[in-house]
Amino acid sequence: MNSKLSYLWPPILIAALFLGAWQLLVVVQDLKPFLLPAPSLIASEFSNGATLMWGAAFYTGTTAFLGLLFGTIAGLFMALLAQRFITVNKLVTPLAAGLATVPIIALTPILNNMFNITSRTPRVLVTAIIVLFPIFVNVMRGLIQVNPLQVELMRSLNAAPRTTLRILRIPNAIPFFFTGLKIAAPLAVIAALVAEYFGGPQEGLGSRIASAAANTAYGRAWAYVLAAIITGLIFYLAIIAIERLVTPRSAQLHVKA
């Protein structure tokens, strides 16, 4: 157990040093909280408002989760459709680059007008659209980047395209899918949070950060940021846990090698 956890010590030590230096800087330089609040202030705001933090994180986390779910389903569906038409891997990279430049978050005010602004719907929608792209691009890559010898083998066995999809392409795409999910999950939390800046219900982390900052409660604003970081981390770790569950460890290592 000791050796298993030993890899945890270096990051913990670095984090402790970093926080110590930060605290020291704020105290020695007598920095005002609007410039940079001390870690101790953020920590006390965080523990004082724990139930509020938890509620806000839960609200935004729910938006992020729903967006992640719908975005993933849509991305998978699109990738399965598209692989029938795009069979050349070279096309996927420019496609990915092109899609990455679309400023989707800018759609939020428009979606707010299209849907009921007092509901969660426009935020979930924006999150889903943002999630869709990394899932689509990565899964697409996994469906197309198959060993050409295995494709020939399937042909030699007289396999229909849909059989090749089921037996070769989809299993091949699973590690790529998780790569996409690991990008998409923290992105979903950021999207759900930023979408709250454009009006609507005020229960989420984004709304709380904005209103705390507007009220010059910088320690509290930073405490909500901390809650947002933790929420993103939970999403990321959940994906890693599912990945471990679905693919055996050795398989993951092997596929990446």
Round the CA-based radius of gyration of the chain to a whole number and report it.
22
Please report whether residue 166 would count as binding other proteins according to CB under 8 A.
no
Please report whether residue 226 would count as binding other proteins according to CB under 8 A.
no
Over the window 96 to 135, marking each residue x when it contacts other proteins by CB under 8 A and - when it does not, the resulting string is ----------------------------------------
Please report whether residue 147 would count as binding other proteins according to CB under 8 A.
yes
Rounded to the nearest whole angstrom, what is the least distance from the CB of residue 170 to other proteins in the complex?
10
Given candidates 105, 174, 210, 226, which one binds other proteins under the rule CB under 8 A? 174
Measure Cα distances from 143 to 72, 120, 158, 247 in Å: 16, 33, 19, 17
d(CA 66, CA 207): 18
Among the residue ranges 61-69, 95-103, 151-159, 233-241, the one whose residues contact other proteins (CB under 8 A): 151-159
DSSP secondary structure of 166-193: IIIIHHHHHHHHHHHHHHHHHHHHHHHH
Given candidates 47, 116, 163, 215, which one binds other proteins under the rule CB under 8 A? 163
Q: What is the dihedral of CA 167, 168, 174, 179, to 10 degrees?
A: -170
Q: Closer to other proteins by CB, 244 or 254: give it.
A: 254
Asked whether the beta carbons of 71 and 129 are under 8 A apart, the reply is yes
Please report whether residue 158 would count as binding other proteins according to CB under 8 A.
yes
Cα 254 versus chain centre, distance = 25
Asked whether the beta carbons of 57 and 193 are under 8 A apart, the reply is no
Given candidates 171, 233, 241, 244, which one binds other proteins under the rule CB under 8 A? 171
Q: Closer to other proteins by CB, 51 or 250: give it.
A: 250
Size of the residue set binding other proteins (CB under 8 A) = 19
Please report how the helices 249-256 and 218-246 are oriented relative to each other, as an axis angle in degrees rounded to 10.
100
Among the residue ranges 60-68, 127-135, 190-198, 248-256, the one whose residues contact other proteins (CB under 8 A): 248-256
**What DSSP state is assigned to residue 33?**
T
Closest CA to 92 of 108, 105, 79: 79
- The residue ranges that bind other proteins (CB under 8 A) are 147, 149-150, 152-153, 155-159, 163, 167-168, 171, 174, 250-251, 254-255
